[in-house]
Amino acid sequence: MERQEARALNGAFALLPRKRLTKMKIIHITDAHIVPEGETIYGLDPAARLAAVIDHISANHADADLAVITGDLTDRGDPASYQRLRSLLEPLPMPVRLMIGNHDIRAAFTDAFPDEPRDEAGFVQSVMDLPDGAGRLLFLDTNEVGWSGGRYCDSRLAWLEARLQDAPDRPAFIFMHHPPFPLGVAHFEQICLAQPEPFIAALKGHGGGVPHIFLGHVHIPVSGVSPSGIPFSAGRGCNHQIVLDFAARDCTWASGAPNYNIIRIGEHGVIVHAFDLIDAATIGTGAYPPGP
């Protein structure tokens, strides 16, 4: 199917490139909320839960090309928590790209992780190209001091537009903390990305398309297609998690299992698998089913 015909059929799937994508496996962790040693959040130890995730990834997905943590690395942005995070991440066998969320403090993060890439203005955002020109990963900084919601200012937007223009025909995969569109849950009405219209316009104008946006922040497993036609997914959150209630403005926290997502980018497009069964009891085996 020609690209123009595909766009007419379905705007979301037309964002995928015509040529086959290089295979890539990415681990997506979000909202670790690390606190200093001896502290907990709602009775949970975020460090122990992240350690369980890292152990499971190391044992089962050591072949992954990259791990990404989409913000709220710590709960208060304090130096002790960032140093604790550094130690927790050491066993991971693949490269790690760290992003900041509303619970993080940019200056403290950059002090603890001075080698983590930043743009010319000091925002914690960066780019990584897939092999053979098959696509571009963009890691964005939506942190705004003093806000629970996110902001993408003119400086950050200019950086994004330049990175999109650098590779006008390559699909751009976006990683960011705050959703740039409503999710239909009252608790998040005021704390998504503020004034997202210029940001969305930049993505929609990219000739290579935007096959997927990977999110943090919301502490619920949610996926879909945004009003602009771009598919998205968000992780549940590594530590405390939200009980879904569409109408409640105050959220209810729960202690589901530590979890992470596995992203596969390749000839079948983009597939996101959520894994939240760490230490779950197995109850049987299903035989391999024959095909038709």
- pLDDT tens by residue, 149-202: 999 999 999 999 999 999 999 999 999 999 999 999 999 999 999 999 999 999
Amino acid code (one letter) for 203: L
Residues 210-231: pLDDT tens digits? 999 999 999 999 999 999 999 9
Integer Cα distance of 28 and 110 in angstroms = 21
**What CATH superfamily is the domain 23-275?**
Metallo-dependent phosphatases (3.60.21.10)
Res 48: pLDDT = 98
Res 22: pLDDT = 65
Integer Cα distance of 180 and 178 in angstroms = 6
Pair of tokens at residue 165: 């223009």
Tell me the longest C-alpha to C-alpha distance in the chain: 58
Res 216: pLDDT = 98
Strand residues in 182-291 grouped as ranges (E): 212-215, 222-225, 231-234, 241-242, 253-254, 260-266, 269-275
Integer Cα distance of 104 and 264 in angstroms = 28
Res 241: pLDDT = 96
Integer Cα distance of 178 and 62 in angstroms = 28
pTM of the model: 0.92
